[in-house]
Amino acid sequence: MRKQFGGKITKKEEEKFQKISNWDGEKFQNLEPTSMDFSFQALPKFLYKQFCEKEGREPDAKIPVLPFDLAKFLEPSPKAKFIWYGHAALLIRINGKTILIDPMLGPDASPIAPFSTKRFSDGTLDLIDQFPEIDLLLMTHDHYDHLDLKSMMLLKPKVKQLFVGMGVGRHLKKWGYDENLIKEFSWWESEDFQDLKITYTPTRHFSGRGISDRAKSLWGGWVIKSPDENLWFSGDGGYGKHFKEIGEKLGPFDFAWMECGQYNENWKLIHMFPEESVQAGIDGKAKQIMPFHWGGFALAQHHWTEPVEKIVSAAEKESISYIVPKLGELVSLDQNFANSYWWRE
């Protein structure tokens, strides 16, 4: 159990954080005031609904994951290709390099809680054995539904380099990753990775794996820019003015994965509602979007298909192009994608 919590913040780390503008001396801050206060009186009702009222929040049967085809994934392509594995797990092939984002492929998003939060699909951890070497692993933040101990232990022999939010590296080092392979980022910081430019972008969220480390590491999203393409993974977070700033500084984007799912009125400042996800894509100057943060776990109290249905409706209303692939489906950005609306079956 203790291993799940990862590494503890050190004085040396805190001294390093003093140089970062959104560190207030004790914790990281969002760009806008972001209250996460939760009424103590409302907590029992919320917990009961969260763990006991599950009708419609999970699919009636496990969602199948299409088989991984290594040869097709590695096949040269003029544009990027990717595979989404539900929630935030994303495998990308771009310019001959394999990038993995937030590889939570484990079966339970609440490994330290009294009740498990089971994945909508089976066997996803087995995919790691089938994956090629991971040239670069990108981690947005350290929450359990993004940074998974089981997945990271299995990935260790395959990962050649890791870019993570400031402070997230301590967990990886605790789990045996070579610190020389880990680079930590603050917001807007960029690094050249061969012929790619990788930038860590702000989100409106928080972090932490235990009671004492809330907001002691940074949260964010990622921009992957090649000579021919510009891709954006929004990361977790509520709607805010930072989306327009991202679009102005780093856009426009050929494609963007936008957080959409696990929202609730009680935490509307730290998770977007679907209509906000579409607006954030427009603010960020994305030509085409795809919703993520759904299709993996029931972490909020909405129907499991509500995020995708609402984002499809909002995207069509705003005339922004969107795609929603099946879990495990290989998507090539040089080809027109035909949506199958598979979740309605």
- Express each pLDDT in 126-168 by its tens digit: 999 999 999 999 999 999 999 999 999 999 999 999 999 999 9
Whether 250 has a pLDDT exceeding 80, the answer reads yes
Whether 44 has a pLDDT exceeding 80, the answer reads no
How many domains does one find in the chain? Answer: 1
The answer to the question of residue 28 being in a domain is no
Whether 49 has a pLDDT exceeding 80, the answer reads no
Whether 2 has a pLDDT exceeding 90, the answer reads no
- What is the reported pLDDT for 38? 58
The answer to the question of residue 90 being in a domain is yes
The answer to the question of residue 47 being in a domain is no
Write out pLDDT tens, residues 200-231. 999 999 999 998 999 999 999 999 999 999 99
- What is the reported pLDDT for 249? 98
The CA–CA distances, whole Å, from 102 to 5, 13, 117, 247 equal 17, 23, 17, 22
Give the angle subtended at the CA of 305 by the CAs of 301 and 311, to the nearest 5°.
105
Whether 51 has a pLDDT exceeding 80, the answer reads no
User: Whole-angstrom Cα distance, residue 109 to residue 334?
Assistant: 34
User: Whole-angstrom Cα distance, residue 30 to residue 218?
Assistant: 10
The answer to the question of residue 45 being in a domain is no
What's the number of CA atoms in the CB half-sphere (13 Å) around residue 325? 22
| Reported pTM | 0.96
Inter-residue contact 105 to 125 (CB < 8 Å): yes
Whether 1 has a pLDDT exceeding 70, the answer reads no
- What is the reported pLDDT for 238? 98
The answer to the question of residue 40 being in a domain is no
Burial of 151 (0-12, 13-18, 19+ CB in 10 A): buried
Give the pLDDT mean for 82-101: 98
Burial of 37 (0-12, 13-18, 19+ CB in 10 A): exposed
Question: Tokens 């049967």 map to which residue?
Answer: 61
- Which is more confidently placed, 36 or 162? 162
What's the number of CA atoms in the CB half-sphere (13 Å) around residue 59? 18
- What is the reported pLDDT for 35? 84
Cβ neighbours of residue 241 under 8 Å, at least 6 residues apart? 31, 32
Write out pLDDT tens, residues 259-313. 999 999 989 999 999 999 999 999 999 999 999 999 999 999 999 999 999 999 9
Write out pLDDT tens, residues 321-330. 999 999 999 9
- What is the reported pLDDT for 43? 62
DSSP 46-93: HHHHHHH--TTTS-SSPPP-PPP-HHHHHS--SS-EEEE-STT-EEEE
Q: What is the DSSP letter of 260?
A: -
The answer to the question of residue 3 being in a domain is no
Q: Which domain holds residue 237?
A: 61-333
The answer to the question of residue 100 being in a domain is yes
Give the pLDDT mean for 232-254: 98
Give the pLDDT mean for 104-116: 93
- What is the reported pLDDT for 257? 99
The answer to the question of residue 244 being in a domain is yes
- What is the residue-averaged pLDDT of the chain? 95
Question: Tokens 């979740």 map to which residue?
Answer: 343
CATH of the domain at 114: 3.60.15.10
Whether 77 has a pLDDT exceeding 60, the answer reads yes
Helix orientation angle between 242-250 and 274-283, rounded to the nearest 10 degrees: 30
